[in-house]
Structure 1
Amino acid sequence: MRVVVCLFALLFFHSFALCQSSLNYLYSISGKKTASGQHNREPNAQPAKWTNAIDSLTGHYPKLWSGDFLFQADNIANRGMMIAEAKRQWKKGALINIMWHACNPARSQPCGWDSTGVLSRMTDAQWQQLLTDGTPINARWKQMMDEVAVYLQDLEDSGVEVMFRPLHEMNQGLFWWGGRRGANGTAQLYRLTHDYFTKTKGLSNLIWVWDMQDFLSLATDLTDYNPGNDYWDVAALDIYDSGTGYSDYKYNAMLKVAGNKPIAIGECQVLPTAAQLKTQPRWTFFMGWAELVFSSNTPTVIRELYNSKEVENLKE
């Protein structure tokens, strides 16, 4: 089955990560099953805290484990612990997802969750520096990517495939990297980042997840922030709008932009129901956001989802 899926993918797409087993798995379940997933945010000293909490509640480990390179001093210092957990989870059979809440390269690292850190802004002049080779801000971003690439290379050397989700929620103006439309906006930074990791650093174990948020402008956003089909393998949508939830509008918009590529629920606090997954079967995974899963869903709802026939957990 994996060989067939891989050959099919090679006929239609030109991504760098197409023949990896994790991506083949997503193709194989697309339209049939949805893999369960759980994010483990701060602290990196406890990189399986929320994954273990799901098992304690449901009796199932999620199929997808997720970590974050993060931005605070202690979490940067403990990136190695997060990577060691990624290796353990891979050996258990989990899909590995890693994201990066990065500090602003025009400012300082480490940083905080505030207006001088992850939530800071760049001036237009600083943004142009970021995208221009040889400038101080561009060099600083590459230095920060070098630091992360060491860990990604360690995973590659250990045979671990990574669904890599940097610059997430690109249409979200909350973060320093997001909210810039057009050819020279956030999409260009994504292309620069992709090419640096894959071409300059030579990483071949990355499955690129292009991630958006579920604003009402989604249909337009998917055009304005698309870095190009050659730059991503999976299209993910973070679903936080409680008023519209898992609407057909969002699902159909993702199907339209993805074509035959996998789509996924990149983050959520309110989990999808088994009934919703049955009517929207192309979601290949959902990823619950750390502690919000437990504050936004009752224990009964979480158990029902993890025990439903629509969902594939780790042991399956």
Structure 2
Amino acid sequence: MTCQRRIVSCLLVGISLGLLFTPALGREVSDIKPANPNLCPKGREILKYFQSIYGKRMLSGYNVYVHTPDDYEQTGMLAAIWGRDVQWLPPVDEVIAHVKAHGYLLTLHWHWFFGGDSAWKSKRKTPVNVARVVTPGTPEHATAMKEMAAAADILEKLQEAGIVVLWRPLHEIDGGWFWWTDLDRPENTAELWRMMFRFFTEERKLNNLIWVYSAGVGDLKKKPVELRKRFYPGAEYVDISGIDLYGVNPAEDEEPYWTFFRAMAEVSPGKMLALGECDELPNPQKLAAGRLPIWLYGLPWWGTPSARRPVEQAIATMRHPFVVTLDELPAFGDEDPPPVVGILSPMDDGSAWFPEGSVTVEGYAVDRRGKVVRLEFWANDQLVGQLANPPRQFRWQWTDAPSGCYDLRAVAIDDAGQRFRSNRIHVNVGVVDAARGRPVTASGGENPSAAVDGNYYTSWRAPTEAEEAWIMIDLGQVHSIHQVNLIWGWKIHAEHFAIETAKEAPSQAASWHRVYEGKNLPWEVWKATHRARFAPTEARYVRIHFFRRAARQTWGGYDLAAVEIPIPPSKGAE
């Protein structure tokens, strides 16, 4: 979908929903009365905004861990809500800086390692008696208060920085797998919520928290609504309710969404309902058509690409006009968030090859309070073009691009001088890929041909046990080459590798010559890119030899998405 079509479609969806929307169970919510009567003005403004869009559109989100590839790099769209975990939170000053540098709404949950032991019952050395935790005077109660105080210290720093938090404690509260779920007497778990609420709001004066209740997915026959109600602390302690919903096929399923939506509407009547965690956002086309309940927001647990969240599906949801992304979020309070910019075309999927030399870039740039006054385009950290006072949906032509391989980004600058850098696109100009579709052999592993299929979302995976591995491409004929690009998949890439070439007789050791060696390469979570340049050499066979994995990521084998060998078009592979 082009940028222009996205905005027009958004208007059409809004009009159609205004005409066709009829209230359904759970969509009618009470007037905003914050659970904490002293909730800060910015928090009240956020709640009011939530109520204004509830049942009309769905806010996008994602949970952020090092195990999740960055959605933005794949979809070009930034989520409105980002989720993090108090248990594994980076230094709070880094979190504050990140929130302010992006302007998203922050939600926090807490895999609470009570007493230094695991949050999961199955992994704990000692079980937790929740009744004793909520009973003053017990050692368990003292431990809980000490650990809640440490969490409050973090939340207090966020409050001092003016950051409102969608606070989602005791998540999956009725699931049974975390220590805080008392299946024998759910009222103890409900009291634990109230105990935390009173401590945070009354004693610690944390007035920056919007309290989000989160149930756990599960069979409603085994855990019926009446049982789930016993975990609920009461409407006066909750601002938003919802559930963590897994195992639903977002492309096809409809009834599971309705089943759990209705159940949570009974558990927490009058509350806006959200998906605190999910595999993927519900199908936005079905949401717009009224075939699915409209949750306030959804936070996929998995980044993209992943088995549970394929790239094509993530793009379809994040770019759909029914879904609210960061660029559409209002500025709340007195904040002046930075501009938002994203490149939507070309895609960063291995298809951005422009042998004729002209590159067309399309995307969006918006400032949520002021105005974007300049849009800059950077290739390999060199300024190559700019647009003054760009429209929200921009189109820029790079007509004089020198032949080469680039990391292309856009940078938006607003009228306050704030800058924001876009997603990266691997762009190859005035060259073709001599390795594309050529025969491949490897030392072992799965699907070596994926390294030359032109798709960054497939990959060759070397055996887990192999610290040393290699992959070889037969170019079909001798070419003069001077560069090899390696684009890696998720987490596991080489810290030390060498490139070797041969003109003939690849089975003979004497045929091979080392033309490049890379050492001490820094670890990157996703799409690590190594562009190895060397003196021009004649080669038909190219072998990349890997010696050591970066950051000791030895739990899996090398994950190589692409081997690219750029050469002039006139010398392209047949």
Equivalent of 1:207 in 210, 215, 218: 210
Equivalent of 1:29 in 53, 63, 72: 53
Deviation readout 1:74-102 (Å, 9 max, x if unpaired): x4xx6415x52255325533111001001
Partners of 1:87 and 1:155 within 8 A in 2: no
More displaced 10-residue stretch of structure 1: 277-286 or 135-144: 277-286
Partners of 2:159 and 2:207 within 8 A in 1: yes
Q: TM-score, normalised by structure 2?
A: 0.46
Query: In structure 1, what is the equivalent of residue 321 of structure 2?
Result: 309
Aligned length: 287
Distance of aligned partners of 1:181 and 1:205 in 2 relative to their CA distance in 1, 3 Å threshold: farther
Structure with greater proportional helix content = 1
Write the mapping of 1:182-221 to structure 2, written as runs, cut at 5 A: 182=185, 184-217=187-220, 218-221=224-227
Q: Report the AA paired with residue 225 of structure 1.
A: F
Distance of aligned partners of 1:178 and 1:299 in 2 relative to their CA distance in 1, 3 Å threshold: same
Give secondary structure in 1 for the equivalent of 2:91: helix
Matched, 1:69 2:89: no
Give secondary structure in 2 for the equivalent of 1:36: strand
Partners of 1:132 and 1:138 within 8 A in 2: yes
Deviation readout 1:199-241 (Å, 9 max, x if unpaired): 1211110010110012222523441211000111000211113
Query: In structure 2, what is the equivalent of residue 277 of structure 1?
Result: 287
Distance of aligned partners of 1:65 and 1:140 in 2 relative to their CA distance in 1, 3 Å threshold: same
Deviation readout 1:243-301 (Å, 9 max, x if unpaired): 87743121222234444421101101143111343324541100010448722022111
Q: Report the AA paired with residue 300 of structure 2.
A: G
Equivalent of 1:145 in 142, 145, 148: 148
Write the mapping of 1:144-163 to structure 2, written as runs, cut at 5 A: 144-163=147-166
Equivalent of 1:134 in 116, 132, 137: 137
Partners of 1:9 and 1:18 within 8 A in 2: no
Structure 1 CA distance for aligned equivalents of residues 279 and 182 of structure 2: 22
Distance of aligned partners of 1:111 and 1:260 in 2 relative to their CA distance in 1, 3 Å threshold: closer
Deviation readout 1:76-135 (Å, 9 max, x if unpaired): xx6415x52255325533111001001123xxx165867454x9632xxx3332111121
Partners of 2:165 and 2:209 within 8 A in 1: yes
Structure 1 CA distance for aligned equivalents of residues 265 and 121 of structure 2: 35
Structure 2 CA distance for aligned equivalents of residues 197 and 205 of structure 1: 10
Query: In structure 2, what is the equivalent of residue 224 of structure 1?
Result: 230
Q: Larger C-alpha radius of gyration, 1 or 2? A: 2
RCO higher in structure (CA 8 A, sep ≥6)? 1
Structure 2 CA distance for aligned equivalents of residues 14 and 143 of structure 1: 24
Query: In structure 1, what is the equivalent of residue 245 of structure 2?
Result: 239
Distance of aligned partners of 1:211 and 1:18 in 2 relative to their CA distance in 1, 3 Å threshold: farther
Structure 2 CA distance for aligned equivalents of residues 225 and 67 of structure 1: 24
Matched, 1:93 2:103: yes
Query: In structure 2, what is the equivalent of residue 264 of structure 1?
Result: 274
Note the C-alpha offset of 1:182. Answer: 4.7
Q: Report the AA paired with residue 106 of structure 2.
A: I
Distance of aligned partners of 1:282 and 1:153 in 2 relative to their CA distance in 1, 3 Å threshold: same
Structure with greater proportional strand content = 2
Structure 2 CA distance for aligned equivalents of residues 288 and 142 of structure 1: 31
Structure 2 CA distance for aligned equivalents of residues 256 and 18 of structure 1: 29
Across the aligned residues of Structure 1 and Structure 2, the Cα RMSD in angstroms comes to 2.7
Structure 2 CA distance for aligned equivalents of residues 253 and 113 of structure 1: 25
Equivalent of 1:175 in 162, 174, 178: 178
Matched, 1:40 2:64: yes
Q: Report the AA paired with residue 227 of structure 1.
A: P
Residue segments in structure 2 that go unaligned for 5+ positions in a row:
1-29, 329-574
Query: In structure 2, what is the equivalent of residue 3 of structure 1?
Result: none
Residue segments in structure 1 that go unaligned for 5+ positions in a row:
1-6, 44-48
